[in-house]
Chains A and B, each alone.
Chain A
Amino acid sequence: MNRSATPRRPSPARRPARARPRRGKRDTTDFGFRNRLGLAAICVVLGLAAAQLLSVQVFQAPRLSAEAASQRTTRLVEPATRGTISDRNGSPLAYTMEAKALTFQPVRVREELDEAHAKDPSAPETSAYLEGVAEAVHAALGAAAPEKDVLAKLRSDETFVYLARGVDPGVAAKIVDEYEMVGLERQDIRLYPGGSLGANIVGATGWDGHGLIGLEASMDAVLAGTDGSSTYDRGSDGAVIPGSWRDQQPAVDGSAVELTIDNDIQYHVQQQVQRAKDLSGARNASAVVLDVHTGEVLAMSSDSTFDPSIGVANNPADAELGNPAVSSPFEPGSVNKIITAAAAIEDGLTTPDEVLQVPGSISMAGVTVKDAWDHGVVPYTTTGVFGKSSNVGTLMLAQRVGEDRFADMLTLFGLGQRTDVGLPGESAGLVPSREQWSGGTFANLPIGQGLSMTLLQMTAIYQAIANDGERIPPRIVRATIGPDGTRTETPDPDPIRVVSPQTATTVRDMFRAVVQSDTGNQQGTGAQAAVEGYQISGKTGTAQQIDPNCGCYSNSEYWITFAGIAPADDPRYVIGIMLDAPTRSSDGSGGQSAAPLFHDIASWLLQREGVPVSPDPGSKLVLQVD
């Protein structure tokens, strides 16, 4: 420092002595001025810096740090896997598989390829590369990805395109190995291995992977699970800043849902219902199979069920997306007569062998009801009244039961109330409340007109009779199984005692008359429902539909129903069937009867489940006294 300062100082030996004071004074003044000026400048600069510092560190700090955080913070979402829907044996009806979507950034990638080719002529030309990608994608995916379409996407001016969705991971990996400019994105896809099998129950998911219809929608909260996430910071070069991982929430996968239905039974019933619909010319056909002792739904199907595996929107316009067996009530017709029978037997008002002199018509409160065929007074037994499905005889018995007791029985059998089976969109049907009954009401309800019920409710009536008089509300969800494997059984519904076991046995035995074959007067109305070797009880039904043109009952369109118990002597299954306005029977033969469909389902079911044949065919029943 000294050495550097020395030469600047005026040397006394070399400067004139007189000049020294003057020049020294001026220098001092200059220095002082410069010093102050410099000081002021420094102060100003420092002041500015301090102000800026204050501004940045205090006033703008929250905004800037938020901006910085948003630039470096990255949130990773770990998608939860949707739960499986399976049948009672664990065979999946719907499950989720992780697949890949092939992605591409046309503009950016084309630029990069151009640059690379310009630098190194051995790099592939852009157009050749794109054609190669299109060819590879088409080769791997076939008709799902036409080469022309893929190429159009690759050459488009979009910043980002999906080349294909739902691609098998292995296939996708091969494409990306060969063409690294193609990107991959995780995409969960919902698979329905059975196609339309049980689709009326299971439903389908929408584009976002959440339920759209059916159980997929109503149980979405259970099935969906909760997506996990984690957050980390990323530098400008994309590298993860060490120690910045935080807020790590693992994904909670959705619970699996186990249904009570059996895929094989469901398949057979669905197939038979479709066949019956096609052969009978009905507008719709539905069938329900219940387990007698648990009330579990083993199969529930309707015709023309959509196929969720091709996407809801790709189904034909006339595909059935709903579940008519629980959502569409109808008037059941004579199937409802079993309520009168059960009430009359329970209350000791008749016996199966009592002979009733049944006239051709009956007048109740000003309403005249006739039988379907003209006849004079015929000596039918009580068994024969139901075996022949006589409206007049049924109403004679209903009069003994009384209006109030009959109304109570409707409630006990679960009519007018939702079964809470566990399916969305369930209808309660419509039963006029007792206060609203007019004179004609009681002339109609016992024969199954003037009230409506769903097919499930109709089948549940017969479940009560089959289960020794104890009605168990039907259920379709057996259990949910959490992601950790914990199984939560659906609580058993409370059984409802409808009639005594003796009454139930008597009624079951009486209703064997319906399927009884005879060349004479002892023929029932539903002999085609019989299954050789087994005792079968059931009831045919024909209800007039409403003609919208006149607002009256139609004489040409009917709801054709059948409900039955197999086997009658040791009940295992209850089957309910409804055909909407058929022109032929369910097997294509003349008449309008659903009995052949019952036979087809029951016969297959008894064989498939290995149900032993009835020890005896049951005594021959007397329907009409000669």
Chain B
Amino acid sequence: MTVQVAAPLRARPARSNAAQRAYRRRNQRAAQTGTAPVQTRGRTTGAGRVATRIPFVATIIALLGAGMALTLFLTTRAAEDSYELSTARAYNMSLVQQRAVLQRDVEAGLSAPVLAQRAAELGMIPSGDVARLVVAADGTVTVVGDPVPAQGAPAAPLSSSVRDDVRVQTPLAGSAGTENPRPLSPEGEQPQPQATVDPQQRAAAVAEAPRAAEVGGVPQPHGTPAGASAEAPAEPAGVPVEVLPGSEEDGPR
């Protein structure tokens, strides 16, 4: 650190006369008191002493400079990281939202009514009564029931009474778009198939499904007229209403 002192010293202007006198007097005082003239780090000249101070200032400046550079670097990095962080957070958020939307679509697609409707669109019909094969311990197989091909109409949608116009106001507005089509309505803005089925049509559809009409199997013991119940309602004539405390209160809903 003290090596480079000579060159800058030479460049300095000579001391003023007053200063030179002051230094001289100090040296004289030192001689009178018996002490050696002031020497700094082995140098006897004033110029050498000043020179020793410059590296110290330079050190401080260098330290400050280095500190500032470090601060600047860290600040820049922090800012850069915060940008990266906010980008990552935004990306994460979009992924979370994307997952929620996908999950919504999956849940909607997995729900029983939607599956049934998709099956109906594919032309699938409920199996009705099926025959069972019972395998005995000895390996013999018995057929229980009468295996016949299923016939009839596809299952009617669960919610038939939904009007066309209310689909427009569905709270899940975004799902009506092409971006995230709601599985219930893959055609987007088109009305749902179920929305176009009125109850009469649906009743007609299910009526097409031929079921074993077992009317003949109902016991009509003593010529009960057709259409009347085979069940035995209590005889109303003999039952005064006032003896039935529950009757009035529990009328038909």
Contact = CB atoms under 8 A, between A and B. Distances in A.
Interface of A: 91-92, 95, 97-99, 139-145, 164-174, 189, 191, 193-197, 263-264, 266-267, 270-271, 274-275, 278-279, 283-284, 304-305, 307, 309-311, 314-316, 318-319, 324, 328-331, 333-334, 361, 367-375, 388-391, 429-432, 436, 438-441, 443-444, 447, 449-452, 517, 523-525, 527-528, 531-533, 540-546, 548, 551-555, 557-560, 580-581, 583, 585, 587-593, 596, 603, 607, 613
B247 interface: yes
A438 B244 CA distance: 8
Contacts of B145: 532-533
Contacts of A263: 111-112
B163 A375 contact: no
A169 B97 contact: yes
A592 B231 contact: yes
Nearest to A614: B144
Contacts of B94: 169-170, 173
Contacts of B175: 168
Contacts of A266: 112
Contacts of A429: 250
A450 B231 contact: no
Contacts of A583: 227
A451 B246 contact: yes
Given A444-B239, A528-B214, 14 more contacts: A91-B111, A97-B100, A143-B167, A195-B113, A197-B111, A284-B253, A315-B161, A367-B238, A367-B240, A517-B217, A525-B219, A551-B241, A589-B214, A603-B128
B139 to A, nearest CB: 17
B222 interface: yes
Contacts of A315: 161-162, 166
B84 interface: no
Nearest to B100: A97
29 contacts: A142-B189, A145-B173, A167-B173, A168-B180, A193-B110, A193-B111, A271-B156, A279-B203, A305-B159, A307-B159, A310-B170, A315-B161, A330-B250, A330-B253, A372-B232, A373-B232, A375-B222, A388-B221, A431-B246, A440-B239, A444-B244, A450-B247, A528-B218, A553-B234, A558-B229, A560-B231, A585-B215, A591-B229, A591-B230
B64 interface: no
B42 interface: no
Interface stretch (B18-26, B65-73, B101-109): B101-109
Contacts, number: 354
B233 A542 contact: yes
B199 to A, nearest CB: 7
Contacts of B218: 525, 527-528, 590-591, 593
B252 A194 contact: no
A278 B229 contact: no
A544 B236 contact: yes
B207 interface: yes
A196 B207 contact: no
Chain B interface SS verdict (over half) = loop
Interface string B42-58: 00000000000000000
A524 B172 CA distance: 52
Chain A interface SS verdict (over half) = mixed
B211 interface: yes
A546 B173 CA distance: 47
Interface stretch (B1-9, B33-41, B75-83, B129-137): B129-137
Q: Sorted from nearest, which 6 A-B pairs have the closest CB atoms?
A: A168-B174, A372-B232, A542-B231, A169-B97, A267-B112, A440-B243
Contacts of A371: 232
B244 A613 contact: no
Nearest to A370: B235
Interface in B158-199: 158-163, 166-180, 184, 188-189, 199
Contacts of A319: 161
Contacts of A169: 94, 97-98, 100-101
Contacts of A194: 111-114, 158
A311 B206 contact: no
Contacts of A543: 233-234
B174 A143 contact: no
Highest count of chain B CB atoms <10 Å: which of A142, A328, A441: A142
Highest count of chain B CB atoms <10 Å: which of A164, A553, A588: A553
Given A171-B179, A374-B222, A533-B144, A551 B174 contact: no
